[in-house]
């Protein structure tokens, strides 16, 4: 994408976000910084043990479970999520957990589309609502401080690990994480604390607190002043395990993928480069996009699927009627049909295809394009 356009999209999104949310200056005593640092440096931040979630389903897809780390806000103590199962023998297929950014705009919009694509490729997909997002927002006014932010991060990681335990105990062979933005931060912290994670994809991740709050191009003076006043707290908290650069993954670097937007205005890309060096240079994709536009790169979903499939020990079996491990690729007949469908999309016709049929053909051809050629 053209750099000025990518940056303009990010810049516009930032102005709207801070205009709606706002940010007020808080006096230093209200930060409770010492309490936060004690918690982040202690054993309770991310404990070694993690119990499986006690999941209850409300229908075939929607589930809920009590958070393993209750907060003082009642609405935040129930975790909500969705499980997009493959059509047959789903418990024998790997699971990819999608982790959204903040605000959680993908849970109801982009994630269902991605989940359908992953299901066709033979992967189950689970999504979670992060603490204090969507249904978990407090109904009464709520005041943030440093300890509450630290406990929120710990709660997020604990919930991901609890869901992972439930999936593995249910028979799923492996679990991978795909985190976007703030969700990438949570995915990275989980990869540094839980060796059960088979693979992790960090897409434009938050790496440290300073990355997001150092010098964003905000036109609102009140917001800039508030961010500047918070810098001592950011620097102090970035000396703890909250900073991914100071953490070490417990999974092989071959199973880690970093995706960076080189025109990202939401955060300085330099910490991602530092993380890449500190984590012994795992695979990294540097995309010529911004924070927002990188999410719509054509073919990116297929490229990620091709990367993650062998790391979850799962060959592609895109036909929803095909059980896993019995057919690793489409048959030649199926491939020929896909090519024919592509021709049907591209060549002019006298009779106009219905919109629904064109979408079906487009999905089938797109799925054909992401498959290995054997």
| Bridge partners, 258 (sequence order) | 202, 284
| Most confident among 30-39, 119-128, 340-349 (mean pLDDT) | 119-128
Q: How far apart are CA 32 and CA 147, in angstroms?
A: 7
Q: What does DSSP assign to residue 170?
A: T
The domain locations on the chain are 3-311, 332-370
Could you tell me which residue, 85 or 215, shows the higher pLDDT?
Answer: 85
Q: How far apart are CA 328 and CA 314, in angstroms?
A: 9
| Most confident among 47-51, 320-324, 339-343 (mean pLDDT) | 47-51
Strand 56-58 relative to strand 62-66, pairing: antiparallel
pLDDT 10s digits, 103-156: 888 899 899 999 999 999 999 999 999 999 999 999 887 788 899 999 999 999
Predicted confidence at residue 153, as pLDDT, reads: 96
pLDDT 10s digits, 353-366: 454 444 444 444 44
Q: Which residue has the tokens 């479970």?
A: 65
Predicted confidence at residue 117, as pLDDT, reads: 92
Arithmetic mean of pLDDT over the chain: 82
pLDDT at position 38 over 60: yes
* Lowest-confidence segment of 131-145, 188-202, 210-224, 262-276 by average pLDDT: 210-224
* pLDDT band at residue 231 using 50, 70 and 90 as cut-offs: confident
Instruction: Kindly report the CATH number that applies to the domain delimited by 3-311.
Output: 3.40.50.1820
pLDDT at position 298 over 80: yes
């Amino acid at each position: 994408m053209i750099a000025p356009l990518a940056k303009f999209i990010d810049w516009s999104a930032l102005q709207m976000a801070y205009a709606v949310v706002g940010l007020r200056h808080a006096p230093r005593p209200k930060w409770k910084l010492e309490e936060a640092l004690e918690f982040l440096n202690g054993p309770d931040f991310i404990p070694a043990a993690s119990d499986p979630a006690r999941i209850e389903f409300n229908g075939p897809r929607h589930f809920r479970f009590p958070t393993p780390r209750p907060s003082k806000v009642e609405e935040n103590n129930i975790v909500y999520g969705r499980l997009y199962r493959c059509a047959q023998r789903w418990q024998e297929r790997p699971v990819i957990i999608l982790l959204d950014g903040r605000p959680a705009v993908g849970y109801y919009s982009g994630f269902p589309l991605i989940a359908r694509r992953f299901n066709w490729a033979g992967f189950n997909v689970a999504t979670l609502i992060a603490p204090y997002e969507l249904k978990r927002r407090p109904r009464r006014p709520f005041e943030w401080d440093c300890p509450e932010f630290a406990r929120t991060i710990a709660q997020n990681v604990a919930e991901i690990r609890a869901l992972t335990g439930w999936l593995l105990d249910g028979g799923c062979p492996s679990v991978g994480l795909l985190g976007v933005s703030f969700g990438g931060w949570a995915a990275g912290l989980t990869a540094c604390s839980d060796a059960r994670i088979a693979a992790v994809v960090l897409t434009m991740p938050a790496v440290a607190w300073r990355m997001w709050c150092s010098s964003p191009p905000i036109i609102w003076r009140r917001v800039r002043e508030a961010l500047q006043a918070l810098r001592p707290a950011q620097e102090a908290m970035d000396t703890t395990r909250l900073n991914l650069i100071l953490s070490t993954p417990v999974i092989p670097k071959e199973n880690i993928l970093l995706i960076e937007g080189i025109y990202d205005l939401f955060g300085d890309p330099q910490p991602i480069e530092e993380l890449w060096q500190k984590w012994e240079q795992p695979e990294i994709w540097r995309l010529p996009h911004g924070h927002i536009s990188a999410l719509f790169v054509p073919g990116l979903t297929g490229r990620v699927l091709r990367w993650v499939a062998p790391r979850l020990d799962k060959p592609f079996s895109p036909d929803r009627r095909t059980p896993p491990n019995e057919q690793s690729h489409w048959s030649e007949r199926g491939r020929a049909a896909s090519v024919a469908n592509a021709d049907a999309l591209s060549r002019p016709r006298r009779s106009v295809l219905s919109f629904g049929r064109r979408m079906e053909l487009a999905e089938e051809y797109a799925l054909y394009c992401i498959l290995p050629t054997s």
